[in-house]
A and B are shown apart, each in its own frame.
Chain A
Amino acid sequence: MPVPSDLSFYIDPARCIGCNACVQACTECDTHKGVSMIQLDFIDRSRSTQTVPVICMHCDQPTCAEVCPADAIKRSEDGIVQTARKARCIACNNCVLACPFGVPKMNDAASLMMKCDMCYDRTSLGGKPMCASVCPSQALFYGSREELELLRPNSRAIDSFRFGAQVVSTRVKMLVPKGFAENLLAVTAPLERQAASAAVADPLLANMYEENPA
């Protein structure tokens, strides 16, 4: 059965508390027990507790599949980019290097690229992915557009991302504040700006701990 088209996966990094529930739950999934397909990173722990979970975004035109010389990565009709087929994958690492989101990981022991298939064993039966089920802050949310609108009235979903000259659109959506004007997230823009090297003023941290603030 295909994954129902009215159900989507949404990521809201603002909610992420860095607890690793997604990472740990992923290792409990029946199809790849013991291996997590999710990565969780601090943005800059020296300045903030902000973390971001990275799951497969399930691109409409997946770069990983496009660069695969063995045609091992398939995108099914329901928009899910499947993990590499064991019989075809030659462990060349092309996908690992090419994915703009940094999702595919090489399992050296198995000589096989493994990545998130949005818990196809669950979602294709109408269930929820493991990570979005357990996420305590619901930074990872799986549901219908109606549920999203009800539960996240201040957010808006974006599914287009720009990395340098490449623009990708995805099945998984990123939540941004409703007032955010763009329909495309320019992920690499800060790197391209000249000012990027200068320290960014941090309104929250500035003078936060002054003893006798003026």
Chain B
Amino acid sequence: MAEARPGSLDPSPGDPFGPHAAYSSGLRLDTGVEPDRIVDTHCCFCGQQCGIRLKVKDEQVIGFEPRYDFPFNRGMLCPKGIKRYLQGSHPDRLLHAYERDAGSNGGFRAVGYEQAIERAAGEIKRIQATHGRDAMAVLSGASLTTEKAYLVGKFAHMALATSNIDYNGRLCMVSAGAGNNKAFGVDRAANPWSDILGAEVIWISGANVAECAPITTDYVWQARERGAKVIVVDPRLTPIARTCDLFLPIKPGRDVALFNGILHLMIEHGWIDREFVARSTVGFDELAQSVEEWTPDRTARVTGIAESAIRQAAEWWGSAKTSFLMHARGIEHSSHGVQNVLGAINIVLASGRIGREFCGYATITGQGNGQGGREHGQKCDQLPGARKLADPAARAYIAGVWGMPVEEMPQPGVDAYEIFRRIERGEIKGLLSLCFNPVVSLPDSDYVRRMLGKLDFFVAIDFFLSETARHADLVLPGSLHEEDEGTVTTSEGRLIKINKAIACPGEAREDWRIVQDLARALGRERGFTFSGPRAIFDELRVASKGGVADYSGISWEKIERQQGVFWPCTSEEHIGTPRLFEPGSWNVVAQGNGPFYFPDGKARLNVAAYAPPAEDVDEEFPVILTTGRVISQFLSGTQTRRIGPLLDMDPQPFIELHPRLAAQLAITDGMWATAETRRGRLTLKARVVATIRPDTIFVPYHWPGKRSVNRLTIAAQDPISKIPEYKACAARLRAATEDEVREARA
């Protein structure tokens, strides 16, 4: 079907919705302005959730002060946090509801908020009455506070009673989550970051720590000052890899092969904690058998890493007394992302170094609330407390908390990408989205755009008109991070409190109000009359009680008093659980049988099967395309591409390639080059650097339209986690034609 809506690849320069780049001016530039108040809160971007103090003058955030008292970052911030205040009072800020109107500048005209709510409710009712409840889908996000994420999940499952809700953590945390659940029975960083500091060996796989989790750099360096050896596995020599002790330049998509090869050597050399394995795990013999074939020679050939380096890594890892293994999207964004994660966990469990001080394992969460946002019911198969939507006991308990008949609670739905395939098949006709910009962030994104065009009705809640919201029929003006309060669970599993600095401007509303207003207009307001985030949190405490992610003992006051609370926290007296899996520890699943979250208290060693990327290179497309982030930008760039000083750091994406590949293709640094895959083509300037594998090219993904690398990436997904394979697909590269250069420059 042809695209039914406007929403071109790139907005025109005069578009009122931007993106415009904001710079400091007025009060924000005046020296000697005394702020009216300073609000202690946290950064709005990544999963580290650094403490920050926002300066407010005349109901405008005018700047920041370092927050030295917050223990995680002690004042440290990356440039995104420093400049985040420029997203407020922004010329692109949506101050009204808008509806599609081809005749208006930018394609939308302002409408009254109440009128917009009534129209949205009317369309939702019509779609559900005509096509059934599941014809309405919800896409949500993990940058929302946990209160909002909980409410959106409840809204979908109770008010809309649709199966079709999923969230953008599908692009982010699900491989780690599935792997952790399979191995540990729980999905949370096993250790607080303070356990990095005393580790003898730090293993970092597929994590561009310096650019994506910058504050973690100081933890790694500090451990190194105390003698730690740092092993970095990455196709690119990232800033954290530059001064590591051992760099393993892996071919994208081959991580499980490396982990299996390391385990092979650990077994061969007796670097296995046999006592721990026998006492606290199951599955070792089968696993050991499965890695027999992963000889150093085969591992080297598959991974593209020198055999000597693999042996060195195995020796350091195998013989360490303490260690910390971290990974991120580099191993998780794969069609076998869960296998990669299981491979990583296997070498941790085989070493026995977990559940103790300085013996740790963690995935580095991407989004601000990547942890809390994946625990309380906006995932397609989940209910609050990290409960399973398919579990009858969980359904009964939550239905009781919500006061709804359990038989009306929908069954598990499908992942975010599958929602678009259901749109294609005509099964989904309506969409509500917030905090998700799939037009930029999903792979093969031209397909995603076409599917948005097929919808009967699409309503988006947004604070800027994101590239996705441009395809909506109706846009409701939501809230920025600093305009609301609530809790977030950080990378460490620590709940922290976001404090409100200013009120929503114009007709914009806190997102939870908008969701409740929709419920009211639908005539389904029972259960959606919360007075605010605190009341939502109080219900969430009850809803999570007895679940794996148990927040029942956590209050906002306790969070403030303790500078955060690690879940599970099951009673008022309980301080929380900074470190999981300590010997002798109790958890709700094992009930004292052991430290892991299975009835027998033992962790699972899982055979981690190797497969190459879904689309491997061939003669036609001989280069591996991999994607990732740059320090100045965050995710789909909805916020950071609107902040001038950040945009100036990286005004455009680029194609990074090795001088050897560049020489073969007669491409020089700064020249326009065109990358092509089976899905699309992209012309950007080449950055020729020796810090990337010669068989791999890299493009950062934060940009939309003709600069969007996700028009090239493949929609292959992990069969378990459904995460897309952003980190490897087959591409070819050449110097751009004159026409392509002209088009790219325009």
Give chain A's interface residues, CB within 8 Å of chain B: 14-21, 23-25, 27-28, 30-34, 45-51, 128, 130, 133-138, 151-155, 204-205, 207-213
Q: Are B31 and A30 in contact (CB under 8 A)?
A: yes
Between A45, A136, A153, the greatest number of chain B beta carbons within 10 A of the residue's beta carbon is seen for A136
Q: Are A24 and B76 in contact (CB under 8 A)?
A: no
A45 to chain B, nearest CB (A): 6
Q: Are A212 and B691 in contact (CB under 8 A)?
A: no
Closest residue on chain B to residue A22 by CB atoms: B79
B483 to chain A, nearest CB (A): 21
Closest residue on chain B to residue A16 by CB atoms: B239
Q: Are B658 and A19 in contact (CB under 8 A)?
A: no
The one of B75, B211, B632 in contact with A133, judged by C-beta atoms closer than 8 angstroms, is B75
Q: Is B222 an interface residue (CB 8 A)?
A: yes
**Residues in chain A near residue B669, CB distance under 8 A:** 46
**Residues in chain A near residue B238, CB distance under 8 A:** 49
B745 to chain A, nearest CB (A): 23
Q: Are B66 and A130 in contact (CB under 8 A)?
A: yes
In the assembly, what is the distance between CA of A135 and CA of B82, in Å? Answer: 11
Q: Is B659 an interface residue (CB 8 A)?
A: yes
Known pairs A46-B659, A130-B66, A208-B247; A137 contacts B82 (CB<8 A): no
**Residues in chain A near residue B694, CB distance under 8 A:** 209
Q: Are B247 and A204 in contact (CB under 8 A)?
A: yes
Known pairs A21-B77, A205-B690, A212-B300; A48 contacts B242 (CB<8 A): yes
B19 to chain A, nearest CB (A): 19
Q: Is B29 an interface residue (CB 8 A)?
A: yes
Q: Are B31 and A31 in contact (CB under 8 A)?
A: yes
Tell which of B252-260, B301-309, B406-414, B559-567 binds the partner.
Answer: B301-309
Known pairs A25-B77, A49-B239, A209-B658; A19 contacts B214 (CB<8 A): yes
Q: Are B631 and A19 in contact (CB under 8 A)?
A: yes
Interfacial residues of chain B within 313-367, with CB under 8 A of chain A in the complex: none
**Residues in chain A near residue B210, CB distance under 8 A:** 17-19, 136-137
Closest residue on chain B to residue A136 by CB atoms: B214
Q: Are A48 and B221 in contact (CB under 8 A)?
A: no
B419 to chain A, nearest CB (A): 36
Give chain B's interface residues, CB within 8 Å of chain A: 23-24, 28-32, 63-64, 66, 68, 75-79, 82-83, 210-211, 214-215, 217-218, 221-222, 225-226, 237-243, 247, 249, 300-301, 304, 306-308, 631-632, 645-646, 649, 658-659, 669, 687-691, 693-695
Q: Are A50 and B242 in contact (CB under 8 A)?
A: yes
Q: Are A48 and B691 in contact (CB under 8 A)?
A: yes
Q: Are A209 and B645 in contact (CB under 8 A)?
A: no
In the assembly, what is the distance between CA of A136 and CA of B83, in Å? Answer: 15
In the assembly, what is the distance between CA of A30 and CA of B29, in Å? Answer: 9
B162 to chain A, nearest CB (A): 42
Closest residue on chain B to residue A141 by CB atoms: B218
**Residues in chain B near residue A16, CB distance under 8 A:** 239
The one of B29, B241, B690 in contact with A46, judged by C-beta atoms closer than 8 angstroms, is B690
**Residues in chain B near residue A128, CB distance under 8 A:** 66, 68, 75
Q: Are A32 and B31 in contact (CB under 8 A)?
A: yes
For the complex with contacts A28-B82, A136-B218, A209-B694, 13 further pairs of A-B residues with Cβ separation under 8 Å are A15-B243, A16-B239, A17-B240, A19-B78, A32-B31, A33-B30, A45-B687, A51-B239, A134-B66, A134-B75, A137-B214, A138-B221, A212-B300
A204 to chain B, nearest CB (A): 7
Q: Are A33 and B79 in contact (CB under 8 A)?
A: no
**Residues in chain A near residue B68, CB distance under 8 A:** 128, 133
Closest residue on chain A to residue B244 by CB atoms: A204
Q: Are A48 and B76 in contact (CB under 8 A)?
A: no
**Residues in chain A near residue B225, CB distance under 8 A:** 151-155
Closest residue on chain A to residue B301 by CB atoms: A212
B658 to chain A, nearest CB (A): 7
A150 to chain B, nearest CB (A): 9
A42 to chain B, nearest CB (A): 10
